[in-house]
Amino acid sequence: MPSFDAKDYKKTSQTYQPKPPYIINALKAFIVGGMICVLGQLITEMYIHWFNFSEKDAGDPTIATLILLSALATGFGVYDRLGQFAGAGSAVPVTGFANSITSAALEHKSEGLVLGVATNLFKLAGSVLVFGVVAAYVLGIIRYTWQSLF
């Protein structure tokens, strides 16, 4: 009986693995991500024309609406199916972040409102917010130093 090492096993197993359809996956991600962005633009136009927001002021309620819609879609299981189909296309920053926070909270709802939902809601959000604050601080220091020198 011949013995196989890790290299032989990996080489042999790769010959039997199907190749991922990169082009089709990229096309799905592009189309779904683009449609989410089109939805965001339509919501912005709705706030501008129906509620008399300025173009500058319509951004905040648009983001809040996209967060609400993606949280509801996550709760009803629609966003998960969209993510399985589109892959990275469903991870458009606002909707993908809202999906990940909502799904983390829903996974632990059996543990209770405070210890389950609230605690797990901020596991992901906390690290992202900390990274954002630290990155903004570091870039602010770099910009301040650059402007002081020149």
pTM greater than the 0.85 cutoff = no
Give 10-residue mean pLDDT values along the chain (150 residues): 72 84 94 95 97 95 95 93 90 86 81 77 74 91 92
Beta-carbon contacts of 88 under 8 Å, excluding residues fewer than 6 positions away, are: 29, 33
The per-residue pLDDT for 8 is 80
Q: How far apart are CA 28 and CA 51, in angstroms?
A: 34
The per-residue pLDDT for 1 is 53
Q: Residue 101's closest CA among 86, 82, 81, 79?
A: 79
CB neighbours of residue 99 within 10 Å: 22
